[in-house]
């Protein structure tokens, strides 16, 4: 593996792509560390410490801060991060099967995709304006959005007012659009998926703090809950991390191979067709069910706090981040959104039609509707296995925090969104690097087999 990394810099094209990608990543991290004018970063840091991570407001802030690489905690130029573009892309993906006009554009090929990408950028600007306005108002007056008030005598903004809101709105929108453009440049001229890499680097940026917290627990001999933390506990955590990472890789790479028989065709001197397979990914929806479930569970406790009845306000305890009720609801939502995403993105009828047009069939299954029904039932079973696996991976960090009193900043790297994104993006990037190496007759990263990217 190490020789493959060394060989990566021997191939001129691959070396240039890697260096270009690293340069863009540095620019993205700079954008995440330059505060907007007028923000008191010291008071803002005290404010985030005050609201914590286990309150509804802390969960709301933490989810957004996860994808901005800490930019939100400094209200930096890139405080909105790349999430508005991700949200716009998800919305467009969900709308394409619903709106006939978008479905028609998709069938046009490259010109149609270019038009859909243009609509995605317009929608990104709209989302940036809404989120930027909310973030700017929250900085000047957090109570208006149901957030805790700042500490007395420690305002978050030095000169709060309409001027600050308008200026911050413009800066945050421009920051997101620049990050989007930089991500597209990585995809075009660098290595890997640019947008995914920007998110991944932001998550990895939190890793040193997690390691420091783990080191302080080890040196202090105590966990956050007062439990003695010994060397054997550290070794167990490292073993657990290795096992969970391996299971995450299996989940990311796992596919159900459906055998396909294609009619043989002779084109020139080459014979096409024969036996192949259709890979149905075990984790087809990826990390999206976790993001959807987490985003939805943020709002109920915040809404209950505005209710005038004490009994209703007490319902907010059901959605406490460390409660078993929260974990059960969270898990059920992950299962539901896994099937929702597959139902919207996986089209067995279209796959069946494409196979029929290419004179392909599944052995033992008649073409047409029987093939579509078979693919639908197979994908349903595969999705159930992947969703249960995803559910366990998402809840595991919460159990570590609840049972072993491990700080959530450390436990979050033992599963959930962070680990899934990191593993998926790293595998996808390495698979692209491996393809360049194999083209130049160099060995890949594995002695046997090949890495499969997320598109594989």
| Residue 141 in tokens | 């007056």
For the purposes of burial, counting CB atoms within 10 Å of the CB of 130, is it exposed (0-12), middle (13-18) or buried (19 or more)? Answer: exposed
Helix 110-140 × helix 100-107 angle, to 10°: 130
Give Cα 156 distance to the centre of its chain. 29
Dist. CA 435–CA 453, nearest whole Å: 10
Please, what's the b/e burial string for 88-121 (b: 16 or more CB within 10 A of its CB; e: otherwise)? Answer: bbeebbebbeeeeebeebeeeeeebeeebeeebe
Sheet of 360-361: strand order equals 270-281, 255-267, 360-361
Q: What is the pTM of this model?
A: 0.85
- Report pLDDT for 54: 52
Spans of the chain, pLDDT less than 50: 455-456
Q: Which of 170, 149, 195, 168 is CA-nearest to residue 24? A: 195
Dist. CA 383–CA 389, nearest whole Å: 10
Dist. CA 422–CA 428, nearest whole Å: 10
Tens digit of pLDDT for each residue in 53-97? 555 566 667 767 777 888 888 899 999 999 899 889 888 988 888
Phi then psi dihedrals of residue 397, to 5 deg: -60, -35
- Report pLDDT for 38: 92
| Residue 65 in tokens | 């801060």
Dist. CA 129–CA 114, nearest whole Å: 23
Is the CB of residue 392 less than 8 Å from the CB of residue 369?
A: no
- Report pLDDT for 272: 66
User: Across 150-254, where does the E strand assignment appear?
Assistant: none
Is the CB of residue 360 less than 8 Å from the CB of residue 260?
A: yes
- Report pLDDT for 9: 87
Is the CB of residue 175 less than 8 Å from the CB of residue 80?
A: yes
Which residue ranges form the domains of the chain, and what is each CATH number?
Answer: 224-414 (1.10.3370.10)
């Amino acid at each position: 593996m190490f020789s493959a990394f060394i060989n990566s810099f021997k191939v001129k094209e691959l070396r240039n792509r890697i260096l270009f990608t690293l340069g863009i990543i540095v620019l993205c991290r700079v954008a995440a560390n330059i505060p907007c004018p007028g923000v008191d970063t010291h008071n803002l840091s005290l404010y985030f410490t005050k609201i914590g991570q286990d309150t509804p407001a802390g969960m709301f802030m933490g989810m957004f801060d996860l994808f901005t690489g800490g930019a939100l905690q400094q209200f930096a130029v890139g405080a909105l991060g790349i999430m508005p573009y991700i949200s716009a892309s998800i919305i467009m993906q969900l709308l394409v099967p619903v709106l006939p006009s978008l479905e028609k554009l998709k069938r046009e090929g490259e010109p149609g995709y270019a038009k859909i990408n243009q609509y995605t950028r317009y929608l990104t600007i709209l989302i940036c304006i809404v989120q930027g306005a909310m973030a700017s108002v929250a900085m000047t007056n957090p109570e208006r959005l149901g957030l805790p008030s700042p500490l007395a005598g420690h305002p978050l903004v030095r000169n709060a007012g309409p001027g600050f809101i308008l200026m911050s709105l413009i800066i945050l929108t421009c920051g997101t659009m620049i990050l989007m453009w930089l991500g597209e440049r990585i995809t075009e001229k660098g290595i890997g998926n640019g947008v995914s890499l920007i998110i991944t680097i932001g998550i990895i940026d939190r890793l040193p703090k997690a390691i420091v917290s783990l080191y302080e627990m080890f040196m202090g001999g105590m966990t956050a809950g007062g439990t003695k933390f010994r060397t054997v506990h550290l070794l167990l955590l490292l073993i657990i991390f290795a096992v969970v990472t391996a299971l995450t890789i299996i989940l990311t790479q796992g596919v159900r191979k459906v055998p396909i028989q294609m009619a043989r065709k002779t084109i020139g001197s080459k014979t096409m067709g024969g036996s192949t397979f259709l890979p149905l990914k075990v984790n087809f929806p990826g990390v999206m069910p976790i993001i959807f479930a987490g985003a939805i569970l943020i709002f109920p406790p915040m809404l209950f706090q505005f209710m005038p009845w004490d009994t209703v306000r007490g319902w907010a305890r059901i959605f406490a981040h460390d409660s078993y009720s929260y974990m059960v609801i969270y898990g059920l939502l992950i299962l539901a959104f896994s099937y929702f995403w597959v139902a919207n993105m996986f089209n067995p009828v279209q796959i069946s039609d494409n196979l029929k047009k290419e004179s392909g069939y599944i052995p033992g299954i008649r073409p047409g509707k029987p093939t579509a029904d078979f693919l639908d039932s197979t994908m349903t079973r595969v999705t159930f296995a992947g969703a249960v696996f995803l559910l366990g991976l998402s809840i595991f960090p919460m159990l570590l925090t609840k049972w072993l009193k491990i700080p959530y900043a450390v436990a979050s790297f033992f599963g959930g969104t962070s680990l899934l994104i990191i593993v998926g993006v790293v595998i996808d990037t390495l698979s692209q690097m491996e393809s360049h190496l194999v083209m130049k007759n160099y060995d890949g990263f594995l002695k046997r087999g090949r890495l499969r990217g997320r598109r594989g």
